Amino acid sequence: MPERGTGDSMFLKSLAALAVGIAVGFSAPVMAQESFKVGVTTTGVPFTFVDTTTQQPTGAMVDLAKAIATEVGLKPTFELTAFSALVPSLSTHKIDVISAGMLATDERRKVVDFSEPVYTYGDAMFVAADAKDVTLDDLKGQVVGAQVGTTFADSLKALNIFSEVKLYESIADIMRDVKLGRIKAGFGDQPIIAYQIAKNPGLGVRLVKGYKPLKEGQVALAIAKDNPALLTKVNAAILKLKASGELDKIFAAYGL
């Protein structure tokens, strides 16, 4: 066999470089698809919040998103978003999925798709720590607070018994005004309220004993309606995590 000359070597090197260039060209979009943006809030303890030590998003729904990502081979990045901006951010593709303490409601289903449910809970009422327990009837004509964009706010307004259902960006803001006596009572996600009060006795508020939730719902991840492929992958991962018991472990780690 004749030896390859210099010209042959240069030709082979050119082919190798071309092959690498083609491989990179084809691999770039695939790598982009391996990442997906997860919308979370900083005010949904213990579902989603920021760890003050690491300054990183954490919580049950953050851990769940990480577990789902592992199952489907995606790399999650977490986008801190106000609760009221989560759905708009998903609809405009600023994020790919919402993983927060969000209830899957018929109204929200009009604009987003929801995954298999992962948790169930209702609302809670809280008052100032030194206040007496009250009922909804006791609050007729009074100002109460709820978080903007929540189903609880809509349910309270529908009762048509309060002088005002004041809307707040965060539960922490509602707690502050309840403690200071600016409003008579606040309403919010039961597990979030219970967790925050248990961890921070100095908040100056407490849960009302015997209160029956106006509404209970199921927490699920939200995905844009034009992304059915991702929804299928997420659902498959959730069912696998349920079957293995990992889903229960994730929520139990946060007292849920």
For the chain, the domain total comes to 2
pTM above 0.85, yes or no: no
183, 199: one domain = yes
128, 240: one domain = no
Place of tokens 């002088």: 163
Q: Report how far residue 223's alpha carbon sits from residue 63's, in angstroms, rounded to the nearest whole number.
A: 17
Examine residue 25 and state whether it is found in any structural domain, yes or no.
no
pLDDT at 187 over 80: yes
Q: Report how far residue 221's alpha carbon sits from residue 78's, in angstroms, rounded to the nearest whole number.
A: 14
Examine residue 153 and state whether it is found in any structural domain, yes or no.
yes
Other beta carbons within 10 angstroms of residue 196's beta carbon come to 21
Which amino acid is residue 177, in one-letter code?
A: D
64, 107: one domain = yes
- DSSP class of residue 159 equals H
Confidence category of residue 87, pLDDT binned at 50, 70, 90: very high
Examine residue 233 and state whether it is found in any structural domain, yes or no.
yes
Q: Mind listing the pLDDT tens digit for each residue in 90-140?
A: 999 999 999 998 999 999 999 999 999 999 999 999 999 999 999 999 999
- Please give the C-alpha separations between residue 95 and each of 31, 78, 224, 225, 227, in angstroms, as whole numbers: 17, 9, 9, 13, 12
Q: State which residues form the domain around 148.
A: 121-216
228, 114: one domain = yes
State the pLDDT at residue 201.
Answer: 85
Q: Report how far residue 33's alpha carbon sits from residue 75's, in angstroms, rounded to the nearest whole number.
A: 9
| 131 phi and psi angles, rounded to 5 deg | -90, 160
192, 238: one domain = no
Tell me the residue length of the chain: 256
pLDDT at 213 over 80: yes
| 179 phi and psi angles, rounded to 5 deg | -60, -40
Examine residue 99 and state whether it is found in any structural domain, yes or no.
yes
210, 227: one domain = no
114, 166: one domain = no
Q: Is 134 exposed, middle or buried (0-12, 13-18, 19+ CB in 10 A)?
A: middle
111, 237: one domain = yes
Output the domain CATH number for residue 40.
3.40.190.10
